[in-house]
Structure 1
Amino acid sequence: MATEQLADGAMAPVVAFALVGALGVGSQWLAWRLRMPAIVLMLLAGILIGPVTGIFDPSRDIGPLVGPMISIAVAIILFEGGLTLNFHKLQDAVVGVKRLVFVGAPLGWLTSAAALHYGAGLTWQSAAVFGGIMIVTGPTVIAPLLRTAKLQKRPAALLQWEAIINDPIGALAAVLAYEVVVVLNTATSVSEAVMTMLIGISVATVLGAAGGFGLAYAFKRGFVPEYMKVPVVFASLLLVFGLSDFVLHESGLLAVTIMGIVIANANLPSYVEMLRFKEHATILLVSGVFILLAANLDFAVLGQLNWRAVLFIALVVFVARPLTVYVSLLGSKLPWREQTLVAFTGPRGVVLVAVAGLFGERLLALGLPDANLISPLAFVLVAVTVVLHGFTLAPFARFLGLASTESPGVILIGGSPWTTAFGEALKKAEVPVLMADPNYGNLRAARTAGLDTFSGDILSEAAEQRLELVSYETLVAATSNDAYNTLVATDLAPEFGRDNVFQVMRAKSDNARHQLPRTLGGAPFGPEETHEGMNRLIREGWSFRVSRLSEEHGFDEWREMHPEAHIFARIGPKGGIKLVRKDEDVKPAPDVRIIALRPPGDDKDSQPPAD
């Protein structure tokens, strides 16, 4: 049998699964290395192995499992979307974000459905379902675009929070619209249609809420051990999805979305761990679903798209999106430049393609012939908006005067004489710096020096809401409490990347009884001095200085002139900063600067000082 499969060009299901996983995760990794949206590479990979070369055909190589796999994956993706919708954070969001959610979401649903109906020529039934999905502006795409475009804080926050909050709302709108279409096409009378829909939505709501509240109650009461919480969440998710789907087909998507929203607002102590699990699971599932959908794309169906598809894209980008934003932000006192930037920035991402592909197949099975256009329209919309905004967002922001002129910054945790001196050196080098400390008094010297400060715990919810962490790429945990430094570095490492999180040397790190695993804490940097040792050097007259290197006056020459100096950081020609580990060489290059702690009396430079 295996020989017959190979003869027909099919591959074993295990090999197919491995191929999908390797291409999905590999595309995400390569996109990270190339600093470009992962969706572009996943689209190319899926099309190349699918309709172009015929190496992989999901229907042929995986068979009847493709549909259930995509359904479960989309359910988990929607659960993840609900898990990000915390109403407390929404209440503390800026007025613009609230308007983009409460006014923009329903208005965007209406304008998107109109663009699909009048532009692409879809029936109102298909347009209503697809239009709900189009509310989602792509949180997985917005984040890398914001990192590369370097917008000012307020427009960046508007785009980021709109994408995060509207993610589950768009999915919810699509599910509700789909339920209406299902009932209208399967019921024999209007009364039966209404009753079936009400029963299905009620059951989905009850099951989703019961699942969420039940898990919250069990976790808070300690009925589930810590190591089993994530598996229990996953199993409960599948159970709620299956039960609700049994009552009314596809109502499980509504149930799991509600379940995620309930858990997000339950104030669970294990919420962070679940959030990170769902992030990892979502990356794998989104990658897999997108590769499957791209590989299953039929060029014959794609060829059915005509000039109306171009009209649809134009209506979405230049009419529906701007109209939605301008109406939502009317009277919000936001500058017109910021409104314009947000109005013409609406990239769609993988979630839209995944959910649209699923609903397209379901609507087609219900007897709506135009539903076969939903998947190719979704692919075209995503490809055009990602490429368009990926190449134009940064120059458009510069044209409007909304591009941040600041380089990636540094967060210093802990107010002390040495961190204040280091912060002043960073500021002189034009590197944005923020100093945070739970003790207001510890920041007095930093405020006097004109540094940006945050009085509070960097791990608190207030810090998450008030601080734009996306503006900073490096974090230094440098309080007098070694345990707190380790906690901060470990907790924020996934946010900043482990290579960008550093920690002052622990006081008892040489003692085998106090050594921690390498997975905990931040990387060492600078001299082998503890927090108290660094303050002692400052009291003895050591000072931070900024020096500029060049091809003629390189690191070797600088080291000869300053043999006792301790190097802390290297600043590249474009302002990017990298903290330097002990004994690490700094490569000479034009306009490279180094920040070093020099002993008293060491103030000579062969070149004019950078500061």
Structure 2
Amino acid sequence: MPDLNLHLAAAGSDSLIFACALIGALGLGAQWLAWRLQAPAIVLMALAGLAAGPLFQVLFGTPLLDPSETFGDLLRPIVSLSVAVILFEGGLILKFENLRDAGASVRRMVFFGGPLAWVLGSFAARYAAGLDWASAIVIAGVMVVTGPTVIMPLMRQSKLSGRPAQFLKWEGIVNDPIGALFAVAAYEIVRVASQGDSTLWAGMWILMAAGIGTLLGVAFGLGMSRAFRAGWTPEYLKAPLIFASIILCYAIAEEVEHETGLVAVTAYGMTLANSRLADLSELRKFKEDIAVLLVSGVFVILTADLTPQIIASALNMNTLLYLVCMLFLVRPLSVWIATAGTLSRNEALLLGWIAPRGIVAVAVSGLFGSLLVDLSREGRFFFSGADQIVPLAFAMVFTTVVLHGFTIGPLARRLGLARAEKPGVLLVGANSWSIEFAKALKASKIDVIVADSNYRRLRPAREAGLDTFLGEVLSEDAEIKLDHARFATVVALSTNDSHNALVCNQFAPEVGRHRVYQLSLSEGDEVDEKSVGSAARGRTLIRRGRTYDGLIRDQYRGWNFSRTRLTDKYTLEQFLAERPKGDLVAEIRPDGTLVLLGPSREARGGEGATIISFAPDQQPTTQPAKQVETNGEQKLKAEGDKA
């Protein structure tokens, strides 16, 4: 008998190991495939879980992955802790100053539109989807959120501009933790009421517990920021300490009152976000590694845990009616009423339609759906719609991501809210050469942004009337505040070659590897083996051997940028003959397409093309000055800070 027990234990251990490996492979595999296809990761992760769970069960009689069976009592803590980390990450993005940047329409949407959407969504879930009131109120709270991770790619794809883009971006960022808190409050009211306590006492206790959780999260945030500032922790322990402290904060709050841990970790993240802690940039690796892994795992677990029976019961007219109400009644009315007088008619129409749900919506709904199911089993109330919360949440995610993804572009163009001009160029690194290059691009009617983390270095760009971005483009802050819809080309021109390579690798998946550029590695054609490999770099701008030092040196010697428009009488060959020592930097084709020149990217020329060159300041040798002026050449003298 002992041998048999050991054998069964070993078999169970093998099953658990296989399940963990499969969840990691499916989740991260879906993330990778989404990156390759430039598709929403949330949809592919959900499809991966459905394929391994209910779909596999339908085809072969048993699921390849059955989280409830495999993990048993551990499933709930795993999902709960994962959701806690996800909400901490959401809180870590939310800075109070963001509300000032967001504008009046977003503030009204958060403080008035959010509660209004919660109330209207509760009625839709109750009478359209047929849920009981408890389940309806919980899922309505979660559905208030709009996922920033889904909205950002949609805005870039649609070239959405101005206030609508800012509205969608900031609404997604601010509403992420708020929707989760709505769900926490709703669940706590239901849970306390199910124990026979009065509603008044339940409300008072929930407010007290939420206050305790908030204070606990603030205390953890202040303590951790103090520890980082005082140097009490080494650099290599900061990310692990954050992760461990999230779990500790959540566990302590749970001892006070169930599910207040989510409030505590959200407050923890918000406190750190507003502490102006320089070390927050170091937590980016933690967020990218741990949070992405947990998000992938939660999605696969939640979808794989669905059964064919639950999915079949959710595929009915009630679900369709619920989706119609949420898309065509709840969202438009919430936006139109909350933002009345702050948006134009076309802006209100677009924003009343676009509201894709994302990671937090599914993760939190999965957690509270399972909690309501447990209450049904052990309490005096039966929540008939608890098992429908997760299928409804996934239906909402799939529908909004697909519908809004395909319609945001055409609708924005139809309403005149999309950018009419072609996306421009992001120049990373402010110096005298890059600023003059930016002036030449702007004079050629190419939209250009100069980015740098140093305020002083950006001063000449601001004085020249160029658009600037102050901050590190590799940071999460830039992901939120930098308008990615404005550029389709990135040129890294800082003095640090390794940083330039990192910038190119950061933006390559977004704009394409063929649209990220940096200067040559060294002044010779040889490759420095100690430097970043060519596979990890951007494309070479101008030519091999043309480095930052060489360009600055020539600029000090009097070289400057020129824009020359070619005609049928003044050809590219004549232009090249007059500037044997110059560098061709870019060509603007007659159709307005910008081509940055370099190895294997020669200027094509032709009537109507404009060449941007960097060359010594001298008069042409083959034509008189007035003929060059007739052909449209304009010289841009080197100005600005030479230091």
Q: CA deviation at 1:424?
A: 5.0
**Aligned pair partner of 1:412 in 401, 418, 427:** 427
Quote the residue 1:138 is aligned against.
147
Q: 1:331 aligns with which of 316, 337, 341?
A: 341
Q: Which segment drifts farther, 418-427 or 404-413?
A: 418-427
2:195 pairs, out of 170, 186, 189, with 186
**TM-score, structure 2 as length reference:** 0.79
Change (3 A) 1:598 1:223: closer
Displacement of 1:116? 1.0
Q: Are the equivalent residues in 2 in contact too, given 1:425–1:595 (CA < 8 A)?
A: no
Shift of 1:257: 1.2
Deviation at 1:405, TM superposition (A): 2.3
Q: For 2:546, which of 509, 518, 529 is the aligned residue?
A: 529
- Distance in 2, matches of 1:350 and 1:304, equals 24
Deviation at 1:74, TM superposition (A): 0.7
Question: Where does structure 2 lack aligned partners over 5 or more consecutive residues?
Answer: 57-62, 377-382, 567-571, 624-630, 635-643
| Residues 250 and 261 in structure 2, CA contact (< 8 A), matched pair in contact too | yes
Classify the secondary structure of the residue corresponding to 2:102: coil
Residue identity matched to 2:138: V
**1:583 is the counterpart of 2:599:** yes
For the residues of structure 2 that align with 1:184 and 1:134, how far apart are their CA atoms? 23
The aligned residue for residue 222 of structure 1 is 231
The residue that corresponds to 1:41 in the other structure is 44
Q: Is 1:13 matched up with 2:28?
A: no
Residue in structure 2 matching 1:313, options 307, 320, 323: 323
Query: For residue 332 of structure 2, what is the aligned residue in structure 1?
Result: 322
Identify the residue that residue 29 of structure 1 maps to in structure 2: 32
Q: Distance in 2 between matches of 1:402 and 1:261?
A: 33
Aligned residue in 1 for 2:54:
51
Distance 1:312 1:191, change over 3 A: closer
2:468 aligns with 454
Larger of the two Rg values belongs to structure: 2
Partners of 1:84 and 1:261 within 8 A in 2: yes
| Superposed CA offset, 1:402-423 (max 9, x none) | 1112333212356666435533
- CA gap of 1:375–1:173, structure 2 versus 1, over 3 A, is same
SS at match of 1:304: helix
Q: Is residue 2:74 matched to residue 1:71?
A: no
Q: RMSD across aligned C-alpha pairs, in angstroms?
A: 4.5
Distance 2:392 2:20 in 1: 26
- Give the corresponding residue for 1:99: 108
Alpha-carbon deviations, 1:3-39, whole Å to 9, x = none?
989999x972222222222221222222222222122
Structure 1 residue 168 corresponds to structure 2 residue 184: no
**Aligned mates of 1:421, 1:195 — CA distance in 2:** 63
CA–CA separation in structure 2 for the residues paired with 1:575 and 1:175: 53
Q: SS of the counterpart of 1:476?
A: strand
Quote how far apart the aligned CAs of 1:304 are.
1.9
Q: Which amino acid aligns with 2:334?
A: T
Report deviation, 1:516: 6.1
Match for residue 461 of structure 2? 443
* Residues 50 and 295 in structure 1, CA contact (< 8 A), matched pair in contact too: yes
- Matching residue of 1:233: 242
Task: Map Cα deviations across residues 103-141 of structure 1 (whole Å, 9 max, x no partner).
Answer: 222112122112112211222222221111111111121
CA shift for structure 1 position 373: 1.0
- Give 1:193 deviation, angstroms: 3.7
SS of alignment partner, residue 412 of structure 1: strand
CA distance in 2, matches of 1:312, 1:123: 14
- State the secondary structure of the residue aligned to 2:34: helix
Shift of 1:232: 1.0
- Sequence identity, in percent? 40
Match of 2:449 in 1: 434
1:573 positional shift: 11
Q: Does 1:81 align with 2:90?
A: yes
Matches of 1:377 and 1:342, distance apart in 2:
22
Mapped to 2, the partners of 1:592 and 1:356 lie a distance apart of 58
Q: Which residue of 2 aligns with 1:552?
A: none
Matched residue SS, 1:223: coil
Cα deviation 1:288-315 (Å, max 9, x = unaligned)? 1111111111221122232121111111
Distance in 1 between residues matched to 2:130 and 2:411, nearest whole Å = 31
Bigger CA drift: 539-548 or 223-232?
A: 539-548
Q: Distance in 2 between matches of 1:265 and 1:540?
A: 47
TM-score normalised by L of structure 1: 0.83
**How big is the shift at 1:145?**
1.0
- SS of aligned partner of 2:65: coil
Instruction: Choose 202-211 or 468-477, whichever is displaced more.
Output: 468-477
Structure 1 unaligned regions, length at least 5: 549-554
The alignment covers a number of residue pairs equal to 592
**Pairwise CA distance, 1:541:** 5.8
Over residues 552-592 of structure 1, what are the superposed CA-to-partner deviations in whole Å (9 max), with x where a residue is unaligned? xxx99x99999977554588999886756x53456999999
Matched ranges for 1:419-568 at <5 A: 419-420=434-435, 422-427=437-442, 431-435=446-450, 438-439=456-457, 442-443=460-461, 446-447=464-465, 452-454=466-468, 468-478=483-493, 482=495, 494=506, 502-504=517-519, 523=538, 525-527=541-543, 528-531=545-548, 533-535=550-552, 537=554, 543=561, 566=583, 568=585
Tell me the equivalent position of 2:60. Answer: none
Distance apart, 1:83 and its partner CA: 1.2
What is the deviation of 1:442? 2.6
8 Å contact kept, 1:57–1:296? yes
Contact 1:473 1:496 in 2 (8 A): no
Give me the whole-angstrom Cα distance separating, in 2, the residues matched to 1:298 and 1:602. 80
Structure-1 separation of matches of 2:178 and 2:608: 47
Aligned residues of 2:440 and 2:563 also touching (Cα < 8 A): yes
Distance, in Å, in 2 between the alignment partners of 1:96 and 1:182 is 35
